[in-house]
Every structure is written in structure tokens, then in C-alpha cells.
Amino acid sequence: MARSLADRQRSHEQSKARLAEQEAKLKLAERKARTKRLVEAGALAEKAGLLELDTNALYGALLSLREGADKPKQVEQWAALGGRTFAREARARDEGKLPALLTFPGPLAKEASAALRAAGFRFSKVMRHWEGLARPDDAEALARAHGGTCRVLAADDPGAAPPSAEANGRAVQ
């Protein structure tokens, strides 16, 4: 059965609308990706201590970097330096932290959950506990503050039983 001209026009308009919607979604995704990249670049400029420069000086510094950006050897050296610095900062940030599991007798208030997330913990829906890297004293204080218990795992074997009280000088449940 032949479709009428009106049916074909309606179908064509629907196809155009779908394409326009897909195009809008792509533009939105591109805008979000660009915004994310700009925020990352700004954060890196701040992390490197460059935001204290006058605007003209900062722009000049960035222009001088652009001259080396087309040299693969230079970009490789920059990447190595950045990687080493990020790794050193991560080690310093995580120094003294051990895997910890926090359990609570019941659901927590939003404020308690927010405090745990702010401390770097995340909730495991499967295991029904909070887990994360923390300094043992900090993890135990968080657990006590919200009526829970803390289990700190051994540094050398994340899957092992918690260290004994004699081994680390504190009672760990």
C-alpha cells in the first residue's frame, strides 16, 4: 500500500527532529568535555603555582610552552616530570594510610554518610560496610563517632585478617 504524501512528509519531519536532537546531544557532550578540560587546565595552573602570575605573564608563559608542544621529545619529558610529581604527591597524601572497613549497626544519617565520603570512604552495597584508605586512628575515630566499629587491614596483605592489638599497639575490631 502506497504511503500518502502527508505520511511521507510527517516521517521526514520526524527524522529531521531526531537528527536535530542527536546533534544537540553531541554539541552538549562536546561543550561538557571542553568545560571539563578547561577546569582541569585551570586546576593544573593553580597546582603549579602559576595563578599568582599577572595575566600577561601567565599568558606569556603559556605561549612559551606552546613552542615546545610540537616537539615529541619535549612533550615526553614534560609527561615524565608530571607523572613523577603526581606519583610523589599521591604517596605523600596516602602515607600512613591503610585499608579500613567501617561497619555500623544500622543506616546512617546523611551527615554521617557525608562525613565518611569526605574522609575518602565509599559504601559497599554488597558487603554492607564502608571501605577506604585512612590512617588507623582517623578511621577508628570516625567509626566511634557514629556508633560503629573499625577493622584495619594489615599493610602487607590487604586480604589478611586485621593486625592484632599487640602488633600495632591498639585494639582493632
Top-tier CATH class for 97-168 = alpha beta
Question: Which has more pLDDT, 34 or 167?
Answer: 34
Residue 80 exposure: Cα atoms within 13 Å on the Cβ side: 6
pTM of the complete model: 0.56
Kindly list the domain boundaries of the chain, sorted by start residue.
5-52, 97-168
Per-residue pLDDT reduced to its tens digit, 19-34: 999 999 999 999 999 9
Band of pLDDT at residue 97, cut at 50, 70 and 90: very high
Cα 156 to Cα 1, 89, 120, 153, 160: the distances in Å are 75, 21, 21, 9, 8
Task: Please say if the pLDDT value at position 161 is more than 50.
Answer: no
Contacts of 26 by beta carbon, 8 Å cutoff, 6+ apart: none
State how far the Cα of 42 lies from the Cα of 57, in Å rounded to an integer: 15
